[in-house]
Amino acid sequence: MTETTVTPERPLVVEETETKPGFVGQNVPRKEDKRLVQGQGVFFDDVKRHGMGYVHFVRSPYGHAKIRSIDVARALEVGGVYGTLTGDEVAILTDPFFELSTPPGAHIKDYALAVGKVRHVGEPVAAVVASSRELARDASELVEVEYEPLPALVDGEAALAEGAPILHEEAGSNVVWSGLFDWGDFEAARAEADHVVKIERLHFDRFSSTPLECSGCLVEYNRGTGQWTMYCNHQMPGVGAIWMAPALRVGIDKLRFVTQDIGGAFGNKICLHPQFVACCLLARKLNRPIQWTEWRTDQHTANAHGNERTFLDVEVPVKADGTMLGFSVRAVDDCGAFPRYEPLGCIIWAQVTPGCYRWRNIRVDFTQVVTNKSPVSPNRGYSRMQHLWLTERIVDIVARELGLDPVEVRKRNYVRTEEMPYETPNGCIYDSGDYARCLDIALELIDYDQLEERRRDAEARGKLLGFGIGSTLDSGTNNFGQSTLLNPELQFSGNNEVATVKLDIFGEIVVTLGTVPQGQGHETTAAQVVADILGCTPDDVNVRPGHDTYWNSHAGLSGTYASQFAVTGLGAVKGATEKLAAEMRKLASLVLGCSEDDIELAEGQARMKANPEAALPFMALGAILNANNAGLPTDLDITLNARYMYRPPFELPDKERKYGNLTLTYATQIHACLIEVDPETGGYEIVDYAAVDDCGKRIHPQIVEGQVHGATAQALGAATHEIFAYDEDGNLLTPNFYDYHVPHALDMPPIKNGYIESESPFTPLGAKGMGEGGGAGIHAVCAALQDALGKTVTRSCNPYHRVWELLRSEDRGVTVQAR
């Protein structure tokens, strides 16, 4: 049977696969949409409470400075000001946030507000609460802070230099974490190679997904119970609570996170604990609800950037036939002023150590440093994207140096479909996929066979045509055991997600999720899975929007991150629904006087297979157990309220060898693009673009395609204009959407989509996590620029001025050593 496609009139390429009829795999209408297109969504800033106070943070104007004094007296004199909070109070009332790193990073002290020192422009040093947003800002201007400026550090490599200013004296070094990863035998590979290609320096620039809704919360404190409720847009409350509760010196159940609709997050709403703790303290201190809305400039200057990474001294041993044997590299990762979620980025890349390739000998000397820039946070494609940019740059730079065809050299080095499941040199298991086939589809979509003709046509118009490929993997469902490869003392491993499914008194099926959706359509896809198991329609399934800690449908690692909902979230939904279905069959069998095996669930009823007339509507089942249960056997142990925790099948990784399976699934993205460069100006345009995706079984093809579009747009923005650039004093030069240009509608090329479905053998539904992508668009544009210009591209973001500089530059930094 042929797969249903998104819109059959479009040229989707779909594998022939076996499917069973049902709602899974269909584009059912999204449950979320009706409220959202009517402006009836509830985002955190829509929530109001009687007597609430608005908080405004006083932020550092310096990249690096000592705080000599803070005086809030004048602010407190303003009518309508409810109170303030300073770093001194925070240092007394809270403990520093838990650090994940071993020393030196372990010694870093990170608080809700700056204590004693500021380390980046925009860092909150005090907070003022007032009766209106405007008044809070007015009063914050009256807070007098005396600073003693210190030299700022805005370059990751400079952070390692002798005599560099030290950001965190307690750590005694700007290094957060460093370590050597050495798999296979790189020296032997170098000896075996016919050529060794050396690349001096590649730099992955700083940017972020910049969700359109900034961060924020409304915090209520219950004095009687000591509990805080946060109406917010935190995307990973389980981990947020692990940071916040010890800092606030309370049990974890004192923190209730509530979300409904979230205006995008992309990882950027994981590290909100400092601001939330400040709001919690204020709610308790001032005994009123506290509202914090982050504005765009705040988000850009002081919230969540993606990791910036420099790759030095790359060496690639290559055989005469173009077979690459691996690579070695020294990586310096710049995480900004505080590690927060870091140093996890120092291992996350290792999920995709060899990229899409059969490389067996890989040595990575990885160091992460702090600088006087905004702290980083996971950002769509987190840490893998930077690494995959390196693998793709390696392939295209080697191809250029050795005169190899970028298509052929990829196919020669790609992991092959017959090798799946494939174990990488560091023990990760690529579950399934066919990279070469995806590439062929992408090439077909952009009419690759007409490339030379199009090149000539562009030339005739004074343009340089460039062709580029980006081959990436989206590794989904983390094994948190990888954290122990950074810090053996950490007590995290495996992964989990929870869902509950219940049958209510009137027969309503109610699903609660532990996840925290931000546009991924969890309400819809969860309903598809439930409907197929219970024999009803998605319309019959009420999936509660958002997340509420008090629903008790979450676990410690709950959240929406790391491309995993289709595996963990829906795995939990499937497990809970199967438990509920078994209970429903059992109850029905007792009522109908038959065996459980004689009962089937279909058409909203539990009925006898042999005699469908003998049926109990769901409503009857719900009513009998919940309201009319006299006479049921006393030993009947059912609740019609099933909670299930899905745990992916993971082992603990080997800490000595830094070896083990770090993620459960590997979705493939192979993108290809054509660009046209105006050689006079350096301006360029993407003129053709294809994105081929393989995420195994697609639960809802339209949602999958939407994620591909979004990941592509973000990658194209990052490749062309989006960059968080700083001056030498640590001022962010792109603090708003004026200077930080994200793609608008006229900037986006049409995107041609193709799919294959290589089901994962390891997941409950054959699906793989997807959504983050691997930044394939960045890699493809860099490759296309290199092709068009005939110059080695060494930066991930190439605005027009860089292209113009490249055109005029001597090509430097790459050498080939023949053996």
Q: Point out which span in 62-70, 464-472, 618-626, 719-727 binds other proteins (CB under 8 A).
A: 719-727
* Spatial contact of 559 and 233, defined as CB atoms under 8 Å apart: no
Q: Measured from the CB atom, is 507 or 519 closer to other proteins?
A: 519
Q: Examine residue 36 and tell whether it contacts other proteins (CB under 8 A).
A: yes
CB of 174 to other proteins, least distance (A): 25
Residues 6+ away with beta carbon under 8 Å from 441: 13, 670, 690, 692, 754, 756
Instruction: Choose between 131 and 417: whose C-beta lies nearer to other proteins.
Output: 131
Q: What is the CA radius of gyration of the chain?
A: 27
Residues with Cβ < 8 Å from 36, sequence gap 6 or more?
Answer: 261
Which of residues 9 and 449 has its CB atom nearest to other proteins in the complex? 9
For other proteins, the binding residues in 38-67 under the rule CB under 8 A are 38-43, 45-46, 48, 56
Q: Name the segment binding other proteins (CB under 8 A); options: 149-157, 184-192, 423-431, 730-738.
A: 730-738
Distance from C-alpha of 605 to C-alpha of 323, rounded to nearest angstrom: 60
Site for other proteins in 130-149 (CB under 8 A): 133-134, 137-138, 141
CA dist 706 and 612 (Å) reads 41
Task: Please list every residue from 274 through 313 that binds other proteins, using CB under 8 A.
Answer: 293, 295-297
> Among residue numbers 783 through 812, which ones bind other proteins (CB under 8 A)?
799-801, 804-805
Q: How far apart are CA 206 and CA 345, in angstroms?
A: 14
**Based on CB atoms, which residue is closest to other proteins, 186 or 448?**
448
Identify each DSSP E strand in 247-400 by its residue range. 255-259, 290-293, 308-318, 326-334, 361-369
Question: How many alpha carbons fall within 13 Å on the CB side of residue 102?
Answer: 12
Residue whose structure tokens are 């407190």: 76
635, burial (CB in 10 Å: exposed 0-12, middle 13-18, buried 19+): exposed
Smallest separation (angstroms) from other proteins to the CB of 13? 13
| CB-nearer residue toward other proteins: 134 or 419 | 134
CA nearest 439: which of 172, 665, 693?
Answer: 693
User: What's the burial of 732, exposed, middle or buried (CB within 10 Å: 0-12/13-18/19+)?
Assistant: buried
Of 133 and 360, nearer to other proteins (C-beta) is 133
Residue 136 beta carbon to other proteins: minimum distance, rounded to whole angstroms: 8
Interface segment toward other proteins; rule CB under 8 A; list 9-17, 119-127, 177-185, 532-540: 9-17
Q: Which of 150, 262, 436, 442 binds other proteins (CB under 8 A)?
A: 262
Of 498 and 785, CB closest to other proteins:
785
Q: How far is the CB of 215 from other proteins (least distance, A)?
A: 12
526 in contact with other proteins (CB under 8 A): no
Is 400 in contact with 792 (CB distance < 8 Å)? yes
- H/E element holding 126? strand 124-130
Pick out residues in 190-219 that bind other proteins (CB under 8 A): 209-214
Q: Judge contact between 137 and 131, C-beta under 8 A.
A: no
Of the pair 213, 401, the CB lying nearest other proteins is at 213
Q: How far is the CB of 212 from other proteins (least distance, A)?
A: 4
CB of 716 to other proteins, least distance (A): 8
Cα(696)–Cα(706) distance, rounded to whole angstroms? 16
Q: Which of residues 590-619 bind other proteins (CB under 8 A)?
A: none
How far apart (Å, rounded) are the C-alpha atoms in residues 144 and 146? 7
Size of the site for other proteins (CB under 8 A): 87
**List 98, 713, 729, 814, residue binding other proteins (CB under 8 A):** 713
Alpha-carbon distances of 400 from 397, 408, 467, 788, rounded to whole Å: 5, 12, 13, 12
Binding string, residues 361-400; x marks residues near other proteins by CB under 8 A: ----------------------------------------
Residue placing its CB nearer to other proteins in the complex, 619 or 748: 748
Closest approach, Cβ 800 to other proteins, in A, equals: 7
Q: Does 266 help bind other proteins (rule: CB under 8 A)?
A: yes
Give the integer Cα–Cα distance in Å for 411 and 405. Answer: 10
| Cβ at position 682, least distance to other proteins in Å | 8
| Closer Cβ to other proteins, 182 or 298, answer by number | 298
CA angle 134, 140, 144 (to 5 degrees): 160
Q: Does 261 bind other proteins (CB under 8 A)?
A: yes
286 CB neighbour count, 10 Å cutoff: 18
Interior CA angle at 523 toward 521 and 527, to 5°? Answer: 120
- Does residue 682 interact with other proteins by CB under 8 A? yes
Query: At its nearest, how many Å lie between other proteins and the CB of residue 260?
Result: 11
Do residues 24 and 531 make contact, with C-beta atoms less than 8 angstroms apart? no
Rounded to a whole number of angstroms, the minimum distance from the CB of residue 257 to other proteins is: 18
d(CA 399, CA 668): 22
Residues 733-752 that bind other proteins (CB under 8 A): 733-734, 736-739, 741-748, 750-752
Cβ-based nearer residue to other proteins, 131 or 641: 131
